[in-house]
Amino acid sequence: MDGVERLSEWLPLAEGWITRLCDQGGMFYLYFMTWGEGGGETVQMLASTLSLVSRSLANTSRRCLTSKQLMYEKYGDPLKVLELKTVEIPEKLEVNEVRVKWLAAPINPADINQVQGVYPIKPPLPAVGGSEGFAEVEAVGAGVVDLQPGDWVVAAHSGLGCWRTRAIYTENDVIKIEKDIPFEAAATFQVNPPTAYRMLKDFVDLRSGDLVVQNAANSAVGRAVIQAGVIIAHARRIRTVNVVRKRPNIDELVAELKSLGADEVFTEEQMLKEIKGKAKGAKLALNCVGGRSALMLASCLTKKGVMVTYGGMSKQPLQQREEMFRELGEMVRTGRFKTPHFQKRELKDWQKALTDAVSSADKKQLFQREEMFRELGEMVRTGRFKTPHFQKRELKDWQKALTDAVSSADKKQLFVY
C-alpha cells in the first residue's frame, strides 16, 4: 500500500490534531498528536516533509547578500593595513534600517589620515575606509518614511565607511539628495563643499566686496571656497586671494583657478610681496597648511579679521607675527587684555549636531542642513560649481588608486562600483 492510500485511510481515524509550530534555535518542528492506529508512518512522513519545507523557509529568511569592503583592523600604512574582503550582510532589515548600494566614493586626504590613525575621528576597529560618496537605496525597513528604493543618498556623518559596494545603515545615517546632480558631484557632496560653505557662512558676516585669503587653494575645499563665494555673499561677490605651492605647471593652475572665479592666485613666494598689497585687509583667512603659510595669511587680516584653521598639510605648528605678540604683551601688562573664550569648531561637530537635530526634531538645525544642500545643489545644477577631474578606479585596483592619491595631489581618485 503506497503512502497516498495509507494517508487516505489514516486521516478519517484522526479525530483530533494538535499542531504547534515553534522556533527552536532557528529550526522549525511540527508536533502531531493523533488517536487511532496505523498513522505512525504517515505522521513520520509528513513530519519529515514539513521539516524540509521549514528548513528551506528558515534558510530563505536568513539569506545573506555580499559586500566587497576595503577594511582595516589596525592603523598604519594604508597599503599595508587595508585589505579587500567579501562580507555577508543580511537581506532582512530592521524597522528603521536602509540597505544601500554605494555607487562611487573618492579618496580624500582625511581618509588616508584616518587609516593611518592620525585623524581626529577614529571609527571603532575593524573599520571600512572612506568618509564620503553617494549611494542608491536598495531596500528600506517597515518604519522608514522619508526614503524609498531608488533614492540617492549621501552619508550624514563621518565613519560610515564608503569604500564598499553595499551596506546597511539607519535612516538617520544618510541624507537624500536630488538625482539630477552629476555623478562626480554627487560622490563629493558631503565633505569638501559643506566645509567651504560652513567656513564662509559661520565665522564672519561676509558682504559684497569683502576679501577672503586662503592657502591650499587648488585643493577640493579651496576650489569650493572660490566658487561658493558668490552665494555666501548674498548672491553678490566676495574677493578671493588664493595661495598655492610653486610647481612646473603653475601657469595652467593659475588659469584654471581663475576660470572658477579666483580674483588673484599667488605662489607663497609671490604672496610675501602682496601682504601689504592685493592681500591686505582680509576679513577672513582660511588655513589648511599651517607653519609659515599660516603666518602669511594672518598678516593679511584686518584688525578684527578671523583666521579659521581646518587642516595642517605642512605638519608645522601655527606661527604668528612677532609684532602681534609684542602688542599682546603690552595689553596684558597694562590690564587691557582679558583672556578670550576659544571655541573649537569642526565639520564633524556640526554634523553631530545635525544628527542630534534629526532625532530631536530640531527644526532650526534641519533647516540649516536643507538650506546648505539646496544651495550647493543649485550651484551644481546651474553649472556654477565644477567638481575636480577624477581618475575613476574599480575597488579591486585600490592599491594603485591609493598610491596615485598619495603621490600626486593633482591625480584625484574616485572609486566607482
The CA distance from 111 to 200, in Å, is 23
Predicted pLDDT at 129: 98
Q: How confident is the model at residue 304 (pLDDT cuts 50, 70, 90)?
A: confident
Average pLDDT over residues 174-193: 89
Rounded to the nearest integer, the mean pLDDT of the chain is: 78
Distance (Å, whole) CA 223 – CA 29? 64
Residue 273 has pLDDT above 80, yes or no: yes
pLDDT above 90 (res 141): yes
Domains belonging to the chain, first-starting first, are 3-61 (no CATH), 65-188+387-416 (3.90.180.10), 192-319 (3.40.50.720)
pLDDT at 264: 94
Angle at which helix 250-260 crosses helix 220-232, to 10 degrees, equals 30
pLDDT band at 45 (very low <50, low <70, confident <90, very high): low
| Sheet with 64-72, side-by-side order of all strands | 82-90, 64-72, 127-128
Per-residue pLDDT, averaged over 69-91, amounts to 97
Active-site residue, from 75, 119, 197, 310: 119
Of the candidates 143, 55, 156, the one whose C-alpha atom is nearest the C-alpha of residue 96 is 143
Mean pLDDT throughout 25-45? 43
**Contact 233/205 with Cβ under 8 angstroms?**
no
Check pLDDT > 60 for residue 11.
no
Which tens digits make up the pLDDT trace of 320-333? Answer: 555 544 544 554 45
Q: Is 167 helix (H, G, I), strand (E, B) or coil?
A: strand
* Residue 68 banded pLDDT, cuts 50, 70, 90: very high
pLDDT at residue number 232: 65
Average pLDDT for residues 62-68, to the nearest whole number?
84
Closest by CA position to 108, among listed 417, 412, 374:
412
Task: Establish whether 119 is a catalytic residue.
Answer: yes
Helix axes 220-232, 363-381, angle to 10 degrees: 100
> What are the cell numbers at 337?
587684555
The DSSP output letter for 396 is: G
DSSP 389: P
Give the β-pairing of 82-90 and 412-416. Answer: unpaired
Confidence of residue 315 (pLDDT cuts 50, 70, 90): low
More confident residue, 259 or 208: 259
Contact (CB, 8 A) for 296 and 270: no
